Amino acid sequence: MMKLHLRIATCLAAWAAASVYAQSPAERFVDSLMAQMSWEEKIGQLNLPSVGFDVTGPMLSTGVEEKMKQGLVGGVFNTFTPVAVRKLQDFALEHHPHHIPLLFGYDVIHGHRTILPIPLGQAASWNLHLIELGANMAAREAAADGLNWTFSPMVDIARDPRWGRVSEGAGEDPWLGSRIAEAMVKGYQMPQMQSHYSLGYPQSIMACVKHFALYGGAEAGRDYNTVDMSPYRMENDYFPPYKAAVQAGVGTAMTSFNDVNGMPATCNSFLLKDVLRKEWGFDGMVVTDYTAINELMFHGMGNGAEVAKRALLAGAEMDMVGELYLTHGDSLRKVHPEVGVAIESACRNILLAKFRLGLFEDPYRAWKEADSEVIMSAEHKELAKVSAMESMVLLKNENRVLPLNSAQKIAFIGPQVKRRRDMIGNWSGAGDWTQSRSLWDAVESWDNVSYALGCNLVQDAAMMDQLNPHGAQLSLDERSSEALIKEAVKLAKKADVVVLALGEPYGMSGEAASRSSLTLHDQQQALLEAMAATGKPVVLVLMNGRPLCLSEADGSCNAILEAWFPGTMGGDAIAALLSGEQSPSGHLTMTFPRNEGQIPIYYNHRNTGRPFDAQQKYTSKYLDVSNRPLYAFGHGLSYADYSLSNLVCERVGSELHVSYDLTRSYEGYGGPASQVTQLYLHDVNSNMTRPVLELKGFDKRDLMPGQTQTIHLVVSRNEWGYFNSDRHWVMEPGEFEVSVGFSSDQRPLQTTVVLD
């Protein structure tokens, strides 16, 4: 071990001695180290195999220890716990010719062991500070578990809920998605402690913005499918969150599986070099998605050697699992010197990332606090509960059937009343679903409650066969569907109110989980209708990973609470909202369609030359359904009542200052409630067709009953410009409509301003 530290000390000394040039300390250190490395070692840094406890892709790495012995591994992912990390790191340091430490990556997507709501749920909280705290908590638990890199935030804009990975992102809006991307990068990397080449204390982990790029634009909402998109839409609607993560200092970026306008992202130099590095100034490291280089062969881009060359020259630096750089890198560089340049550049960025993480000074970096103090701590569980409560969206509350009261006899019915597995949703990393709190865990101690299964979460055998091999924990009750519903009806008739918990098993959302039908599946709608037929008030609680098509459900129930996959403390969070301990405050960040035929449907659409007019035949519409969604972007009800007034807009320097009054009325609910007010702009006349609305600001705050507060929002000048079809940024003076409201389709305050 002494030899090891002596060697590291030698490298550090070399770095110190070379400290006379203009380079940064990190660059000096890395360049001095690379000067000592063989080509084999340099290529080895580009190799990222999967080792350990989780399987997150179609093939598994083999012979990893043997490759480590030859210094042919730059990092691993899917390994955690200090014991496992130390073992692998020790092995790697001992055997690497220059004792270069490994990166340890993992999909810490919405928490590490204490699981938060899925990102689409957290986004619905519209609470950037809470989202940052959540990422920070995840980082501390992941670091305590030996990890130093997460493949998060996923910031792919998505307008198509058929795509199962909408669960992992922040929804459809580029401005809000950008703010959330910034918050998550800050939460993971703790910028208060990071400089350009130092990623903060050991509690921080390096973040990874993904999937670059435009993965959410897959045709037909089918995962991994083709993306074809105009530069105009790319720049204005899909690029902003990636760019925001880069500007927030994200340490790495991950290439996406899809092709973009005919060129797969993983070998797309327009994306990886022109945009990411030259235009946005990204100076981190680019990792591919799982075997994405190998999959270039399926894209039809050549054989193994050819696709390895394409990816290297395009700027894909670390090869996740595919090992094509390992196989072909050396022979390619001998024939193509430019490949050698690309290999060295990639190796340098990977080593700089390790330096930034402090791995050369402390390869273990696992934060010294004992797991028990950090992982699944009471503080973290409380944060998870708060995050879950703020993420949930009250979609409907007819006749104020919510909140419930303790005198009521409540029948809790449905497959999601007792299931724990789905609480932590998809991409739940190291989360232990058996530790999560179901709805029943939280309410069974209430007075006057009863329970019935009502229906199986999944009835269809073929669907069960798809999901159970991946841990869905689905089974069929021994009773028939009819018997289950009959029992539920009998119970409902004895109750004052029915709480019906339905939704998706976690495996029906997430990766490789696109759906063509988004209604409540199998027996769920039948159960809902049977409950409605009893004449009792029905409160539908949904646990799912995407917008569903709820038109029928909406017609059969009095209230709908969208709980998403709410995380470890989800049951307690739902119970707190149902009981009125706190009012729901979530607002949708993705549109809920009436039916699949409306998709893609999103609020910031363009007007067309024949916008809908009920009095006219020849206008843009469907014959069989309204153009309007069932629930719009920004929608979310509260138990409290609010009003808006006194909108004032004024130019202050180059900014637009907007102020307005929010009042919470005395009537009705008196408990804790917060409200999200949203500021939208619309460019009335422009040289290109612009969205009918664009979110440019929001505020979330608590008010006491009867209280009024004046809210001030500032819109910086670059918020009302846009990229034209040549990808040039343009600012056009003219008239802008300014509106403020509680949703994109409920904006009581409106005015017009002239902006230059």
Q: Which of 290, 451, 660, 669 binds ligand GLC (CB under 6 A)?
A: 290
Q: Per CB under 6 A, does 322 bind ligand GLC?
A: no
Nearer to ligand GLC, 151 or 325 (CB): 151
Nearer to ligand GLC, 322 or 414 (CB): 322
Q: Which of 160, 182, 289, 562 binds ligand GLC (CB under 6 A)?
A: 289
Q: Transcribe 597-666 into DSSP letters.
A: GG-S--SS-B--SS---TT-SSSS--SSS-SS-SB-TT--B-SS-EEEEEEEEEEETTEEEEEEEEEE-S
Please report how close the Cβ of residue 106 comes to ligand GLC at its closest, in angstroms: 8
**Active-site annotation holder among 223, 289, 441, 572:** 289
Residue 7 burial (10 A CB sphere; 0-12, 13-18, 19+) = middle
* Tokens of residue 756, six digits: 């230059």
Nearest to 104 by CA among 257, 208, 246: 208
Total residues contacting ligand GLC (rule CB under 6 A)?
Answer: 8
What are the two backbone dihedrals, phi and then psi, of residue 618, each rounded to the nearest 5 degrees? -85, 65
Question: Which H or E element spans position 66?
Answer: helix 64-69
Beta bridge partner(s), residue 664: 642
Contact 555, 630 (CB under 8 A): no
Nearer to ligand GLC, 208 or 538 (CB): 208
Question: Which residue shows structure tokens 């550090």?
Answer: 12
Question: Which H or E element spans position 755?
Answer: strand 749-755
Residue nearest ligand GLC by beta-carbon distance: 56
Nearer to ligand GLC, 151 or 433 (CB): 151
Write out the binding residues for ligand GLC, residues 207-246 only, by CB under 6 A: 210
Contact 241, 180 (CB under 8 A): yes
Catalytic site residue 145? no
Please report how close the Cβ of residue 287 comes to ligand GLC at its closest, in angstroms: 9
SS3 368: coil
User: What span, in angstroms and rounded, lies between the C-alpha atoms of 592 and 578?
Assistant: 22
Q: Transcribe 36-64 into DSSP letters.
A: T--HHHHHHTTEE-B-SS---SSS----H
Please report how close the Cβ of residue 110 comes to ligand GLC at its closest, in angstroms: 13
Please report how close the Cβ of residue 56 comes to ligand GLC at its closest, in angstroms: 3
Nearer to ligand GLC, 299 or 348 (CB): 299
Contact 682, 737 (CB under 8 A): yes
Please report how close the Cβ of residue 212 comes to ligand GLC at its closest, in angstroms: 11
Nearer to ligand GLC, 120 or 532 (CB): 120
Please report how close the Cβ of residue 57 comes to ligand GLC at its closest, in angstroms: 5
Nearer to ligand GLC, 323 or 562 (CB): 323
Q: Which of 107, 295, 572, 699 binds ligand GLC (CB under 6 A)?
A: 107
The 10 Å CB-count burial string (b at 16+, else e) for 119-149 is bbbbbbbbbbebbbbbbbbbbbbbbbbbbbb
Nearest to 364 by CA among 29, 93, 85, 48: 85
* Tokens of residue 384, six digits: 């998870």
Please report how close the Cβ of residue 88 comes to ligand GLC at its closest, in angstroms: 17
Contact 396, 557 (CB under 8 A): yes
Per-position x/- string for 50-69, each x denoting binding to ligand GLC as judged by CB under 6 A, each - no binding: ------xx------------
Nearer to ligand GLC, 246 or 531 (CB): 246
HEC assignment per residue over 239-255: CHHHHHHHHCCCCEEEE
Residue 731 burial (10 A CB sphere; 0-12, 13-18, 19+) = exposed
* Tokens of residue 625, six digits: 């359904």
Write out the binding residues for ligand GLC, residues 507-546 only, by CB under 6 A: 511
Angle between helices 378-391 and 128-144 (to 10 degrees): 140
Nearer to ligand GLC, 511 or 694 (CB): 511
Please report how close the Cβ of residue 267 comes to ligand GLC at its closest, in angstroms: 17
Contact 253, 210 (CB under 8 A): yes
SS3 725: coil
What are the two backbone dihedrals, phi and then psi, of residue 24, each rounded to the nearest 5 degrees? -75, 165
Write out the binding residues for ligand GLC, residues 440-469 only, by CB under 6 A: none
Please report how close the Cβ of residue 185 comes to ligand GLC at its closest, in angstroms: 16
Per-position x/- string for 122-151, each x denoting binding to ligand GLC as judged by CB under 6 A, each - no binding: -----------------------------x
Nearer to ligand GLC, 289 or 317 (CB): 289
Write out the binding residues for ligand GLC, residues 148-177 only, by CB under 6 A: 151
Catalytic residues: 289
Residues lying near ligand GLC in the complex (CB under 6 A): 56-57, 107, 151, 210, 289-290, 511
